């Protein structure tokens, strides 16, 4: 950063004597938004699978997965870069921060527009939504850099999935599969507009500092590649199942693995709540504070998500029946999902901690390794085992994605997801009273 080197940054404003209480409240908000979003997405899948044929549902799920994959790549991880720089600039009253926001938005807008043009013949209306999706995500991340969780919870956690569910339900009632892409994409527009207002109300208009774009992208470039790999990793399985097994198998796989969004959104909610604090703690070398945050969030992730995975494993035959009779055969997929997500959740926010410490290249290597494992297993297993083969491929990649950074954190910093702060983190009353 042009004016904010690690040595220049003053003591971070972690604020007050009770950081754990603030993490609890912010984390609870993130988890609440994640829960609402996960429920809305689950109901959306139920509606689509019940209202349309497996081939129609699979085609829709494949198209949205491809759109989100492209958007994730076009984001260039600029949002996390902004969180990093905005959090560090708090000590200096955010001097020059408006320039960082512009430096993040412009390349993302260009890349997403190019991606939309390339994918327009394949995705149609969904391709046109890519620049809107990307810009909205970057601006929401900027609000989190200023320490505000409410815009993310309300817009991304509540408004977006509920609006998508409502419009998709309307398309189902009209028996119009052709409307599904528009119903899914349209809610991103108000998210962008409201996110822009949220940033405008928080970012002071300050002079542009020389070297702003260079500093931002020097830090973010490795994460931009890692973000693209992560976007591929999260959605590739559905696309590969559709290619190798057909749209019907893609529908079955999407339905059976829909609950993995619970873990993804819960982890995302906690990460959004503590990322800025982790950046400040690691920048100042406050390893004890970073350990406290890491162990606290891991404890909460396990507490919130493990009952979901155990319940899903036990009730899989009934839960999958909600999607329709053709989906009840995917119980083994559900069991693989539940077991893998329990292991992944127990590792905590390993990649967030790793990148907060500045190891963006190591994070990229981990993601590339995880994606390579997933692709290799998918190609080997999907032709013979369909959706179950895809689940096993995703499981292998997920384990690599979590265990590699866990090993790195242990070796470099002696950090563990569980420790003496775990029980403290679960004392809800003391947190609330703090």
Burial-class residue 176 by CB neighbours within 10 Å (0-12, 13-18, 19+): middle
Place of tokens 């109901």: 43
Q: Is there a contact between 378 and 393 (Cβ–Cβ < 8 Å)?
A: yes
Instruction: Return the percentage of the chain with pLDDT > 90, whole number.
Output: 40
| pLDDT per residue as tens digits for the range 29-41 | 656 666 777 788 8
pLDDT at 1: 39
Per-residue pLDDT band for 91 (boundaries 50, 70, 90) equals low
Q: Which of 146-155, 275-284, 291-300, 387-396 has the weakest average pLDDT?
A: 275-284
Domain ranges for the chain, please list them: 19-433
| pLDDT per residue as tens digits for the range 111-163 | 999 999 999 999 988 999 999 999 999 999 999 888 788 898 889 888 999 99
- pTM comes to 0.75
Burial-class residue 5 by CB neighbours within 10 Å (0-12, 13-18, 19+): exposed
Token pair recorded at residue 185 = 């994409």
pLDDT at 12 over 50: no
More confident residue, 92 or 414: 414
| pLDDT per residue as tens digits for the range 215-257 | 899 888 877 887 888 888 888 889 999 998 899 899 999 988 8
């Amino acid at each position: 950063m042009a004016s904010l080197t690690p040595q220049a940054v003053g003591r971070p404003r972690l604020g007050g004597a009770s950081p754990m209480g603030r993490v609890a409240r912010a984390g609870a908000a993130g988890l609440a938004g994640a829960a609402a979003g996960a429920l809305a997405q689950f109901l959306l899948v139920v509606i689509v699978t019940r209202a349309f044929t497996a081939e129609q549902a699979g085609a829709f799920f494949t198209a949205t997965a491809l759109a989100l994959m492209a958007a994730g790549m076009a984001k260039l991880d600029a949002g996390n870069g902004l969180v990093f720089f905005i959090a560090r600039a708090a000590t200096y009253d955010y001097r020059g921060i408006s320039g960082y926001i512009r430096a993040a938005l412009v390349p993302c807008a260009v890349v997403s527009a190019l991606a939309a043009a390339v994918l327009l013949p394949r995705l149609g209306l969904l391709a046109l939504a890519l620049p809107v999706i990307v810009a909205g995500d970057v601006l929401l991340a900027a609000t989190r850099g200023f320490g505000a969780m409410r815009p993310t919870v309300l817009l991304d956690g509540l408004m977006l999935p509920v609006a998508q569910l409502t419009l998709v339900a309307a398309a189902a009632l009209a028996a119009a599969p052709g409307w599904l892409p528009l119903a899914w994409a349209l809610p991103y527009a108000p998210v962008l507009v409201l996110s822009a207002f949220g940033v405008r109300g928080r970012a002071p208009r300050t002079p542009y500092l020389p070297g702003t774009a260079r500093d931002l992208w020097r830090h973010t470039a490795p994460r931009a590649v890692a973000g693209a790999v992560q976007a591929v990793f999260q959605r590739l399985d559905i696309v590969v199942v559709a290619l190798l097994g057909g749209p019907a198998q893609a529908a079955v796989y999407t339905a059976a693995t829909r609950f993995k969004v619970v873990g993804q959104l819960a982890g995302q909610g906690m990460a959004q709540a503590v990322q800025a604090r982790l950046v400040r703690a690691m920048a100042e070398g406050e390893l004890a504070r970073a350990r406290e945050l890491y162990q606290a969030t891991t404890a909460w992730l396990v507490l919130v998500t493990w009952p979901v995975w155990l319940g899903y494993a036990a009730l899989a035959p009934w839960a999958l029946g909600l999607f329709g009779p053709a989906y009840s055969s995917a119980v083994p997929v559900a069991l693989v999902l539940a077991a893998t997500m329990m292991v992944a959740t127990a590792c905590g926010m390993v990649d967030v901690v790793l990148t907060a410490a500045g190891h963006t290249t190591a994070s990229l290597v981990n993601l590339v390794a995880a994606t390579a494992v997933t692709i290799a297993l998918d190609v080997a297993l999907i032709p013979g085992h369909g959706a179950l083969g895809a689940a096993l491929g995703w499981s292998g990649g997920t384990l690599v994605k979590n265990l590699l950074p866990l090993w790195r954190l242990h070796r470099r910093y002696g950090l563990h997801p569980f420790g003496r702060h775990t029980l403290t983190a679960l004392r809800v009353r003391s947190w609330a009273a703090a």
